[in-house]
Amino acid sequence: MHTEVKPGTVLPARREDIVLHTADGLSLVGELAVPLAADPAGTLICLHPLPTAGGMMDSHLLRKASFRLPAMADIAVLRFNTRGTASERGRSEGEFGGGGPERRDVAAAIAFCSASPLLAGSRGVGGSPGARAPLWLLGWSFGTELALKWGNVPEVDGAILLSPALRRATDADLDGWAQSGKPLAALIPEFDDYLRPEEARMRFARVPQAEVIAVPGAKHLWVGENYVRIALNEIVRLVNPAAVPLPDQWPEHPRKE
C-alpha cells in the first residue's frame, strides 16, 4: 500500500539531535538525518532564513528536506539554528550577528560534517571504504548570504541557493565562487521580493558555472506543496540525480507531524 506524501509527512531516517561548537565558544542546536539503508549519496548543510524575521532550522522547506530526502534520495540533511536562533529543538547560544559572526556557525557545521562517523560510508563512496559523499550547502534567503560569503572552503563541494537576495554577499564573494569552479545553483522565484530571475541572471553572470533556475509562479517563501516539490527535485537533481524525479507516494506508513 502506498501513502501520499503530504506537507507534514515524515519518512524513515536515522535522526539525531546534535550540538555544534563554534570557535568562539558557542553551542548551536541542530539535527542530523541520515538514510536508514544506504550510505549518503550527498550531505546538505541547511542555512536558514533571517532569524529576526522568523527564520530557523524548522523553516518549512528545510524541514521538508530533512523529512523526505534521506528516504527518497539517500541524502543526509543537517539543520541547525545559527547563534541566538530558537526553534522547537531549542535555542542556540549567543546573539544574532547580522551575518558576520555567523561565519563561525557555518564553519562549525562544516567541521561537524567532515568529522561525523554517520557521514562516512560503510561501503565507501566510489568504492573507497570510509570515504565521504559530496558536501553541499543549502541556503535559503539569509542563508544564501552565509553560503556565498563563508561557504567557499575546500570541504564544500557546491552550493544551492533558494531565493538569494544578494544584499550581504558581494561581487567579490561571487568572484571567489567563480574562481573555485564549484557548482553553484540559484533557484529564483518569479515573484521574489528581493531578486527576480532577470536581475539574478545579470548578477550571477560573473560566475560562469552558476545555474540560475527561474521558478514560474513561486514567491520568496515557497508556500505551496507544488513549489516545495519543484525545489526538492532541483536540489536532488544536483546532489543525487539518479533519484529524480522524487515520488509523490511512499510504500510505507510514514508518521505525520
Look at residue 129 in the predicted model and tell me its pLDDT. Answer: 57
Look at residue 52 in the predicted model and tell me its pLDDT. Answer: 98
Look at residue 123 in the predicted model and tell me its pLDDT. Answer: 44
Nearest CA-CA partner of 43 in 71, 82, 70: 70
Per-residue pLDDT tens listing for the chain (257 residues): 888 999 999 999 999 999 999 999 999 999 999 999 899 999 999 999 999 999 999 999 999 999 999 999 999 999 999 999 999 999 999 999 999 999 999 999 999 999 999 898 654 444 455 688 999 999 999 999 999 999 999 999 999 999 999 999 999 999 999 999 999 999 999 999 999 999 999 999 999 999 999 999 999 999 999 999 999 999 999 999 999 999 999 986 656 66
Give the range of the structural domain holding residue 236, as residue numbers without chain letter. Answer: 3-256
Look at residue 126 in the predicted model and tell me its pLDDT. Answer: 45
Distance CA 173, CA 204 (A): 11
Sequence-ordered alpha helix ranges (H) in 25-158: 60-73, 102-115, 142-150
How far is C-alpha 219 from the geometric centre of its chain's CA atoms? Answer: 18
Look at residue 122 in the predicted model and tell me its pLDDT. Answer: 59
Long-range contacts of 93-99 (CB under 8 A, 24+ apart): 93/26, 93/27, 93/28, 94/22, 94/24, 94/26, 96/51, 96/52, 99/142, 99/145, 99/146, 99/149, 99/168
> Can you give the CATH number for the domain in which 182 is found?
3.40.50.1820
DSSP state of 156: -
pLDDT in tens, 190-219: 999 999 999 999 999 999 999 999 999 999
14-21 and 3-4 strand pairing? unpaired
State how many domains the chain has.
Answer: 1
Look at residue 245 in the predicted model and tell me its pLDDT. Answer: 98
Look at residue 36 in the predicted model and tell me its pLDDT. Answer: 96
